[in-house]
Structures are given as structure tokens and as C-alpha cells.
Amino acid sequence: MDLTGQLLHRYWFKTREHLGFGVTAYSVEDARELIGAASRRVGWRLEVIEIIEDVDIRDLDQNRVVPNMGPPNFRDVWFPNLNLS
């Protein structure tokens, strides 16, 4: 997959089971692949109910999400913080 020149986007996956999941990726399909790989690695079963593209970090839970997230400027899952492990 040639990603030359593509911009990264922040996605927020709202789920029924958790606070949600934050992912930075090139597209929603790319974000779904990253979430899927992380889910298989740690054993999550996710029911996504909404995907917010280009989510503003200021709109996320400032008490639970923001203090526990990784840097959202890298391609990976940043909430929960999986991109620094």
C-alpha cells in the first residue's frame, strides 16, 4: 500500500463495552485494521456504534481519556495507550 503524501487522521471509535478507542490512521479502513490487530492482541471484543473522524481531543473525556492516552500524532492506537508499548 503506497501511503506517500497521505495525511493522518484521528478517529474515535465509540463502543458499547468501553469508553471508546482512539486511533490515528490514514483512512477509516486503516484505522479499523489497527483496531482489529490490537483487539486480537489483547483479546477485546468490540461492538463499534459510531466512528468520529478527525476527532478533537478537547471533545474527549478530560478526566479519564486524556490522562491515559498515548500521543495521537503517530499511526497507531492511542487510547487506550498502546502506541508507546
At residue 4, does pLDDT exceed 80? no
Q: Which secondary structure element, helix H or strand E, spans residue 38, and what is its range?
A: helix 28-42
Answer yes or no: are the C-beta atoms of 14 and 51 closer than 8 Å: yes
pLDDT of residue 82: 78
Residue range 25-52, pLDDT digits in tens:
999 999 999 999 988 887 877 788 999 9
In which band, very low, low, confident or very high, does the pLDDT at 83 lie, cut at 50, 70 and 90? confident
- Listing DSSP states for 2-37 in one string gives --TTPPPEEEEEEESSSS-EEEEESSHHHHHHHHHH
Residues 14-32, mean pLDDT to the nearest whole number? 93
Angle at 55 between CA 49 and CA 57, to 5 degrees: 120
- 79 phi and psi angles, rounded to 5 deg: -145, 120
**CA 69 to chain centroid:** 10
In which band, very low, low, confident or very high, does the pLDDT at 1 lie, cut at 50, 70 and 90? low
pTM: 0.86
